[in-house]
């Protein structure tokens, strides 16, 4: 369900569009088979527009849902682009959101394609901004299969694996996911756990 051009419901939680920048050929929405949703989202929202979208969703009843069934789902940031490439927007958005909505967990849904040299500082920044969870796309167990599945435009399988490990060590709650159909779920779950992720999910 589309709330407005800046937010939508996904995985039983309010999800914000973060901007257009991507580290791969396609957005996660495209890979999930949701091009219609992607087409309805504004390409480059401001922090104020996102805060207004959050408030609209809460006024429309999301707060009542969140206090019961969706209590632990909170807010996700994903959309057309990758939130790890929009840290300036996160730095404006999240402190203001946390000041308004105490205790609501924030999750970033991302490819996790981060240069190893910059990963520790990025994880520290995310922690300081109040990000609790990372959900990282892990569709393959080796570099050739990952290259074929993702077509990354920057970094690749080894950088993703290193980032999962670094983020987990930094104290972030990391989980990995792939989209159905997924023939290697057991192998992917084992890899995710080995790298330090707490869970692996197959999203229908």
Say what the pLDDT of residue 70 is: 46
The enclosing H or E element of 176 equals: strand 173-179
**Is 112 in contact with 84 (CB distance < 8 Å)?**
yes
Task: Give CA–CA dist 141/119, Å, rounded.
Answer: 21
* 22-81 pLDDT per residue, tens: 999 999 999 999 999 999 999 999 999 999 999 988 888 776 654 544 454 789 999 999
Give domain limits for the chain.
Answer: 1-110, 125-204
Q: What is the DSSP letter of 116?
A: G
* 163-181 pLDDT per residue, tens: 999 999 999 999 999 999 9
The enclosing H or E element of 107 equals: strand 106-110
Say what the pLDDT of residue 3 is: 57
> Which tokens in the block code for residue 128?
């300081």
The predicted model scores a pTM of 0.93
* 132-166 pLDDT per residue, tens: 999 999 999 999 999 999 999 999 999 999 999 99
Confidence of residue 114 (pLDDT cuts 50, 70, 90): very high
DSSP string, 33-83: T-HHHHHHS-SS--HHHHHHHHHHHIIIIIHHHHTTTTTTT-EEEESSS-G
């Amino acid at each position: 369900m589309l709330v407005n051009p800046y937010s939508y419901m996904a995985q039983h939680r309010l999800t914000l569009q973060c901007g257009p920048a991507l580290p791969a050929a396609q957005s996660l929405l495209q890979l999930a088979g949701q091009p219609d949703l992607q087409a309805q989202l504004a390409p480059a929202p401001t922090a104020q527009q996102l805060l207004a979208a959050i408030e609209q969703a809460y006024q429309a009843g999301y707060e009542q849902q969140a206090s019961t069934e969706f209590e632990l789902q909170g807010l996700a940031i994903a959309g057309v682009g990758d939130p790890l490439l929009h840290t300036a927007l996160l730095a404006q958005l999240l402190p203001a959101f946390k000041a308004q909505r105490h205790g609501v967990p924030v999750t970033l849904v991302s490819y996790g394609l981060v240069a190893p040299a910059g990963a520790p500082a990025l994880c520290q920044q995310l922690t300081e901004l109040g990000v609790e969870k990372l959900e990282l796309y892990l569709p393959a167990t080796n570099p050739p299969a990952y290259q074929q599945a993702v077509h990354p435009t920057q970094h690749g399988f080894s950088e993703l694996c290193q980032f999962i490990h670094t983020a987990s060590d930094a104290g972030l709650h990391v989980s990995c996911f792939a989209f159905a159909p997924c023939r290697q779920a057991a192998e992917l779950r084992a890899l995710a756990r080995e790298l330090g992720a707490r869970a692996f999910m197959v999203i229908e």
